[in-house]
Amino acid sequence: MAHGLQRGWLVVVGLAAAAPAFGGGSAIGGSVVDRNGVPLGRVMVKLATPDAGEVEVVTDPNGLWRVEYLRDEQGEHIKLGKKTTYTLELFKVGYHLQSMPVEYKRGALDLPEVRLVPDSIAMGEKDHDNLDASIAGTSGGGETDTKEGQ
């Protein structure tokens, strides 16, 4: 019986550590996923306001992030302002930049999940020919491409 209680305790601790919800205090946070709903780690998250500072954090492997304060130009902590509109920017290489306003009143604000959209480049047949030529070291006319620094 005691063994079952220990297992239950470990599950509760594991779930509490993974939960995006916050305890008390002032904080803004949320989660970032890809278009399939898979959590995205290592996303740059910037929370800023033009007159009060900014802060950048990186999502954890589960796509979760949390901001409890901003920093001014000297690097000093600035509390989150009550009834303030912040700009939230999320960026990861290979994805489009997401930018949105965040209305913060007070306490803990858990934002809805944000889905990042992958960057994609549409290439026509002509573009593919030019790409192949540049890889081979020649342009379409048989001339050798000159690469910067050579």
Q: What is the pLDDT of residue 52?
A: 82
Q: What is the pLDDT of residue 20?
A: 46
Q: Whose structure tokens read 């809805």?
A: 112
The model's pTM is: 0.67
* Domains of the chain and CATH, by start: 20-136 (2.60.40.1120)
Tokens encoding 134: 């540049």
CA distance 65 to 78: 18
C-alpha count within 13 angstroms, C-beta hemisphere, residue 67: 29
Q: What is the pLDDT of residue 128?
A: 53
Q: What is the pLDDT of residue 130?
A: 52
Per-residue pLDDT of the chain in tens (150 residues, 90 and over written 9): 444 433 333 222 222 233 345 556 899 999 999 999 999 999 999 999 988 899 999 999 999 999 999 999 899 999 999 999 999 999 999 999 999 999 999 999 999 999 999 998 766 665 555 555 544 454 444 444 444 444
Q: How far is CA 49 from the centre of its chain?
A: 18
By the 10 Å C-beta count (0-12 exposed, 13-18 middle, 19+ buried), 70 is classed as buried
Residue closest to 26 by CA, chosen among 105, 93, 100, 133: 105
Coil, helix or strand for 75?
coil
Q: What is the pLDDT of residue 25?
A: 86
